[in-house]
Structure 1
Amino acid sequence: MLTVTQAGQADVPAVARVLASAFSEDPVMGPLITGRRRDARFRALFEALLRSGARAGMRVDAARDEHGRVVGAATWEPPGRRVTFLQQLPELPAYLRAVGMRGFFAGVRLELALARCRPRAPHWYLAELGVCPDRRGTGVGSALLRSRLATIDAEQYAAYLESSSPRNRSLYRRFGFTATVRITRVPHAEPAGMWRAPRNR
């Protein structure tokens, strides 16, 4: 049994753990952190990203199991509320501790490559969706998408995301997303931008 609710400040460590476990092996984000204490540094990175996102009004959805444990999470930027450099600036020391100078500049290049492909039309942006390793394939990702897309459809907005793997793209296609752009200049990966048009009432 799953419950999806909007996460609060107290949920940041649990959400960061879920996202870190999901993205540490991702072909796009995984290479940003190498070396010792990699798991802890990924958690620290996502805690910093979540704090930056909160300043921009980012929505964080948490899927909880029957015991209240966070087993999945998704972060969304509402239309017109992109996370800016100024909102990220207070977290710069945390970013550098997590990824190092080399990883930091690789992350900046990655953000620029992704931003170049984002549509200009108003949309909700799915920045991250991750599920605990022991709950993958059990419907957690679908529950997270279904919950937020219900709100997006009621508001008649479009949605956009980047997907780094064919397996993930098959999930998003089931929810109406279509691959619209191949994102280049990303080392070791071929992510695709996926768009979901507004639904008419």
Structure 2
Amino acid sequence: MSASQAAESAEVCLLDSSYGPEAASLLFRAYRNDPTFRWLMDASRPGYDHRLRTTLRELLRNHIAEHRPALGLVQNDRLIGIALVAPPERRLEVTESWGWRLRMLLGAGRRATRRYLEFHEAVMACVPTGPHHLLPLLGVLPDYQGRGYGERLLAALHDWCAQDSQSHGIVLDTGNQQYLEFYRRNGYREIGEVAVGPVREHVFFHPNPQPLAGVSG
């Protein structure tokens, strides 16, 4: 079986609330070498892994608590990719939660919390007006990257978001240079850029993705 055939055979599903621990582990592996998070969590100081785990866990915890959807990519009963989705309807932003801030201060520290809050505010300032789907976190396990699994997850995500006729499109961001062409190739255009220390965070928008295939739930 070719890499593209293997990616096509992976199942995409809407995850239930039990996905937390497995998703937290996946996101840590997917984002550990991400330049944006390395600066936000200050990888130059001891304790980087702990600060990153705390941040991803708390972002995920808040996502689940707000009953926001997550799409999972599964192969051979293993979760290999995930996309957290913030639908257009207004709900409590993670940075507006005092509980989240307190847990971040205790787990990740004051500097990392402040950096993340400033980063989040700057990215959100680039988001166009109107109803949109936002992708706060999107990751594929490192061993499966570059083999078509990212495209498989993104296509299914577009199918799922396209079912909401009120949404104007999808917004996501990345500071990883190797992903820029990937998003452009999949129909995204850049709508903003944010300085994250030495990193340039690119904010992308995909207008009104159209459904291509069903997603199992």
TM-score normalized with structure 1 length? 0.87
| Structure 1 counterpart of 2:37, one-letter code | M
| Structure 2 counterpart of 1:188, one-letter code | P
Q: Give runs of aligned pairs for residues 79-90 of structure 1, distance below 5 A.
A: 79-85=88-94, 88-90=97-99
Give the corresponding residue for 2:18: 10
| Structure 1 counterpart of 2:27, one-letter code | L
Q: Is structure 2 residue 185 aligned with structure 1 residue 177?
A: no
**Residues 56, 81 of structure 1: 8 Å contact kept:** no
Q: CA deviation at 1:199?
A: 4.6
Deviations 1:143-198, CA, capped at 9 Å, x for gaps = 211112102223343111112133212121222111122224x2121111111112
Give the corresponding residue for 2:55: 45
Give the distance between the partners of 1:200 and 1:24, measured in 2 at CA.
32
Give the distance between the partners of 2:176 and 2:58, measured in 1 at CA.
25
Unaligned runs of 5+ in 1: none
Give the distance between the partners of 2:145 and 2:210, measured in 1 at CA.
32
**Residues 58, 81 of structure 1: 8 Å contact kept:** no
Mean CA deviation greater in 12-21 or 165-174: 165-174
| Structure 1 counterpart of 2:126, one-letter code | C
Give the distance between the partners of 1:51 and 1:153, measured in 2 at CA.
26
Give the corresponding residue for 2:31: 23
Change in CA separation of 1:97 and 1:36 when aligned onto 2, cut-off 3 Å: farther
Unaligned runs of 5+ in 2: 1-8, 212-217
Give the corresponding residue for 1:78: 87
Give the distance between the partners of 2:94 and 2:206, measured in 1 at CA.
27
Q: Give runs of aligned pairs for residues 120-139 of structure 1, distance below 5 A.
A: 120-139=129-148
For the residue of structure 1 that corresponds to 2:27, the secondary structure is helix
Give the corresponding residue for 2:71: 61
For the residue of structure 1 that corresponds to 2:109, the secondary structure is helix
Mean CA deviation greater in 99-108 or 2-11: 2-11
Give the distance between the partners of 2:152 and 2:26, measured in 1 at CA.
15
Give the corresponding residue for 1:95: 104
Deviations 1:45-94, CA, capped at 9 Å, x for gaps = 2221112122334221111111x111111111001335425763223343
For the residue of structure 2 that corresponds to 1:62, the secondary structure is strand
Change in CA separation of 1:78 and 1:36 when aligned onto 2, cut-off 3 Å: same
Identity %: 23
Give the distance between the partners of 2:150 and 2:194, measured in 1 at CA.
23
- The match for 1:166 among 177, 185, 192 is 177
Change in CA separation of 1:123 and 1:63 when aligned onto 2, cut-off 3 Å: same
TM-score normalized with structure 2 length? 0.82
**Residues 53, 83 of structure 1: 8 Å contact kept:** no
Give the superposed CA RMSD: 2.2
Change in CA separation of 1:63 and 1:85 when aligned onto 2, cut-off 3 Å: closer
